[in-house]
Amino acid sequence: MNHRSVGETTKWGGELSREAETILHQHAIQGDITDIQRKMCRWIAYSKKHLERTLTHKLLLLITEQLEQTWQPTSLSRDESDMLREAFTLFINHCFKQLAKLRDIFPAANRIAIERLEQLLTIVAKLHSMEVFRYCCPFQNSLQHELSLIISAGTMEWFDRMVAHVTKPRLRSDEDILRSTSELIYVLIADDNLLFRMNFSSAKLAFYHISFKKIDGKLMDIVIKALEEELGEQIYQSPLKLFESAEPDSADIAAFAFSAEQTSLSLFELYLTLNELAKYKIYVNETHRSNLKINQYYLYFGVALKKWLSIARNKLLHRIEYFLDKDKIETSSTTTTTNNKFTSSSLDISNCFTQMTQFWRRLAWPDVLGSIVYLIKITEDTANATRLYATLMEEKLNAKKFYDTNDLTIYTQELSLTVNNIERIRESFKALPIELSYDKLLVAAEKFHPIAVVDEYRKKIETTVAICSQDITDRIYRILSKVITNMEMELKQYLFHIIEAPEASAAQDTIQPLFTFLDNQLLPYTEYLIRLNLTRYCIIYFLINSSWSDKLMRISDSYRQKNL
């Protein structure tokens, strides 16, 4: 065997030379060795050789099956049974040691290694199912029990090694601790992504279930400790409790956002990695799934989410001012033509709203009722941002003496851009709760919480949206009304000319200049105003027009009375 097994033993099929077979045959005849004794000696010799140099598992399985087919309860002496028991024990322990270091010896990404692992498990399962094994090793635990203990111990040994590797002793900031914890979870995700695909049907073992369940508690202890060091005892507070305490105002929004951003990014990365890892719980046995600690991972991120929303709000407010400073009429990305109905700031802020929607979707907050609390906060923050944008746009227009001049013709495009931009942001804001799927959240919440509580949340969101939307609409009407109000002086002049016109003058000739004036005031806005704002302008225009038409009718009636 030593001679034949030189080289790659995993390619050796177990054949002996003709000379060796002849010698063994002669020994068997001379020593009156039975067939079961030859099979036993063969199994002992090959299994011990396997401890020195790995043989093919196909070969080991073959000689194992030959032993099983030949053995009978009375075919071996007590000493021979003891020898076989010792060989069984050595072989099984060797296999168990390999399984304890499964991730190192049988990497899941290596197809050949996985095949070897499956063959090893097949042999171990075969041994435990054999009568000869149970006869020689009557006190051996069941295979499932042994493997469960081995995999649990091996998993924890591997996990501790990964923790030590990722969290090497060094002077570390809170950010480093968060980042290293995320790195550890990345390692677990990569491990899980490979392990759950393994097939251990031969051993009837839920390996992934054992591994994930064993790591679950210890991992969450590490995560909670990292969060405590960064956020303190606040990680245990509920969403409602968190928002009861008002945040201190920051004198410099940009500085506040920058100072908190790096740590918050590390927190966000940690949250996302846990969110991803939690998805693998579906491969854990359903009866144990609900008891996993990772199910509650999000509960410790409430204060972090509040921090993220604060940073998002402050950055949004800062960007509104920044984008208004850099404002310019939009240019098409595919042509050199300009869209003369909007400026770039409204598109930029709309994109910010979209980014907030994407952030929320990516967050995928598991707690339905808690999600609604945060959704209300997002809605209130974006409502305030919408009002701020509208206010700054109007102030920008007012800075050009818009409200102080009597000649608004030079402000036609500027005024149109202002109300169009404000309307675009209003529409983006109104769509935000829908994009955030708040209605689906509320419907889902009704299944687990009192309808009265859910209705209160629904009312709060819808009221916030409705009030803000109406405030912005009123502001647009106020700006447009300035145009109509500015006409009144000239309208009075046209009316004076109509009143003072000679009685012999034709009514059409007398009134036509007024209507020509009104039409000339309307036409320029048809080029610059978007449809909704043009409709608003026309409503105001025709209300004024109707008012003055009534006055003209009364004047006309007065003329007829005098003529009569």
Of 311, 343, 303, the residue nearest 327 (C-alpha): 343
Q: Is the pLDDT of residue 335 over 50?
A: no
Confidence band for 334, pLDDT divided at 50, 70 and 90: very low
pLDDT exceeds cutoff 70 at 213: yes
The first and second tokens of residue 248, run together, are: 């201190």
Question: Is the Cβ–Cβ distance between 28 and 42 less than 8 Å?
Answer: no
Q: Concatenate the DSSP letters of all residues of 408-451 into one string.
A: -GGGHHHHHHHHHHHHHHHHHHHHHHHHTTHHHHHHHHTTTS-H
Residue at token pair 């609390």 = 373
Say if residue 556's pLDDT is above 70: no
Phi, psi of 31 (to 5 degrees): -90, 5
Question: Mean pLDDT, to the nearest integer, of 500-520?
Answer: 71
Supply φ then ψ for residue 438, to 5 degrees.
-65, -30
74, 129 contact by CB (below 8 A):
no
Distance CA 160, CA 81 (A): 41
Q: What per-residue confidence (pLDDT) applies to 292? A: 94
Which strand (E) or helix (H) includes residue 362?
A: helix 344-363
pLDDT confidence band for 376 (50 / 70 / 90): very high
pLDDT of residue 553: 57
Share of the chain above pLDDT 70, in %: 78
Q: Which of 133, 121, 145, 297 is nearest to 210 (CA)?
A: 145
The Cα-based distances of 329 to 177, 255, 415 in angstroms read 46, 29, 13
Question: Is pLDDT at 310 greater than 70 in this prediction?
Answer: yes
Report pLDDT digits (tens) over 110-130.
Answer: 888 888 888 888 899 999 999
Question: Three-state SS for 266?
Answer: helix
CB 536 within 8 A of CB 477: yes
Taking 90 as the threshold, does the pLDDT of residue 300 lie above it? yes
Residue 307: band (very low, low, confident or very high) from pLDDT cuts 50, 70, 90: confident
Residue 259 has pLDDT above 70, yes or no: no
CA distance 141 to 130: 14
Query: Tokens 């701020």 — which residue?
Result: 388
Closest of 433, 429, 477, 492 to residue 459, by C-alpha: 433
22-54 pLDDT, tens digit each: 665 565 565 557 788 888 888 898 888 888 878
Q: How many CA atoms lie within 13 Å of 364's alpha carbon, on the beta-carbon side?
A: 10
Per-residue pLDDT band for 253 (boundaries 50, 70, 90) equals very low
Segment 187-192 shows an average pLDDT of 86
CA neighbor of 522 nearest in space, from 498, 508, 542, 506: 542
pTM: 0.77
- DSSP alpha helices (H): ranges in 196-252? 207-231, 239-242
Q: Using an 8 Å Cβ cutoff, are 305 and 366 in contact?
A: no
Contacts of 564 (CB under 8 A, 6+ apart): none
